[in-house]
Amino acid sequence: MSKENEKTVEIYKQKANIYLATGIKHDKLNLDKANHKREELQKFIKTNIEILPKKSKIFEIGSADGSNAKYIESLGYQVTASDIAEDFIKEINKKGLNSINFNILKDEFTEKYSAIFCWRVFVHFTKEDIEIILQKIYDALENNGLFIFNAMNREIRTVDEEWVDFSNEYHMGAERYFKYFTEKELNEIIVKVGYQIYNFHKEGGENNSKWLVYVLKKCEN
């Protein structure tokens, strides 16, 4: 576990309640925009998750308030939501979801999953962290299982990494570590581990290229 991620995890443990409150406040500034973003994400999730049989086991890394996990569950899947902060776990539990306090770099998966979902979490991992995590998730997937995640695009940034706190819905009152990846850099790690890139696109920001969005498939011979 990198020192960058370890420090960032501690910030989330201490200030998750601020993150939750800021997100709600930000959404209320423009409900139409917030609803549109939510609908687009749910459409993306449904399109990719529904290739799996109903009742398949799905694990989410970094569930925050549990909204995405709850939506996946509503599609007919067995979902385990997870996070590293107790305030997030409390919000997840309010939605009636199966939850676990789980640190992807420290804890081990105890079973295999048909899909693993991880949204807006890879921004806090170093390249070395990512290499470990991608292998760990690969090993936890069933054959033909999916790993769905996104990462912030380095190509529209001026630095590879930075410590920052934002004034928008990501505000927490403390600087956290952010790492940005190019598509080429991520693809090299992905292929090395053994994934097939099942689906890929860019989205968000002024040029619709803020996020690199991946759907990976584990295909064993």
pLDDT of 115-126, one tens digit each? 999 999 999 999
For residue 221, what pLDDT band results from cuts at 50, 70 and 90? Answer: low
Interatomic CA distance for residues 1 and 26, integer angstroms: 32
Q: Span 39-54, mean pLDDT?
A: 96
> pLDDT tens digits for 146-175?
999 999 999 999 999 999 998 776 788 899
> pLDDT tens digits for 86-96?
999 999 999 99
Q: Is 168 exposed, middle or buried (0-12, 13-18, 19+ CB in 10 A)?
A: exposed
Round the average pLDDT of the chain to a whole number and report it.
94
In a domain, 132, yes or no: no
In a domain, 184, yes or no: yes
In a domain, 125, yes or no: no
pLDDT of residue 168: 75
In a domain, 190, yes or no: yes
Q: Span 129-152, mean pLDDT?
A: 97
Say what the pTM is.
0.95
Flag whether pLDDT at 195 surpasses 90.
yes
CATH number of the domain residue 81 falls in: 3.40.50.150
Tally Cβ neighbours within 10 Å of residue 34.
Answer: 16
> pLDDT tens digits for 26-39?
888 889 998 999 99
In a domain, 172, yes or no: yes
Question: Dihedral through CA 158, CA 178, CA 33, CA 207, nearest 10?
Answer: 30
In a domain, 13, yes or no: yes
In a domain, 78, yes or no: yes
- Helix and strand counts by DSSP (H, E) for the chain: 6, 9
Instruction: State the total domains in the chain.
Output: 1
> pLDDT tens digits for 62-86?
999 999 999 999 999 999 999 999 9
Structural domain that includes position 93: 3-117+143-152+159-218
pLDDT of residue 25: 86
Flag whether pLDDT at 184 surpasses 70.
yes
pLDDT of residue 26: 84
Interatomic CA distance for residues 20 and 24, integer angstroms: 7
In a domain, 171, yes or no: yes
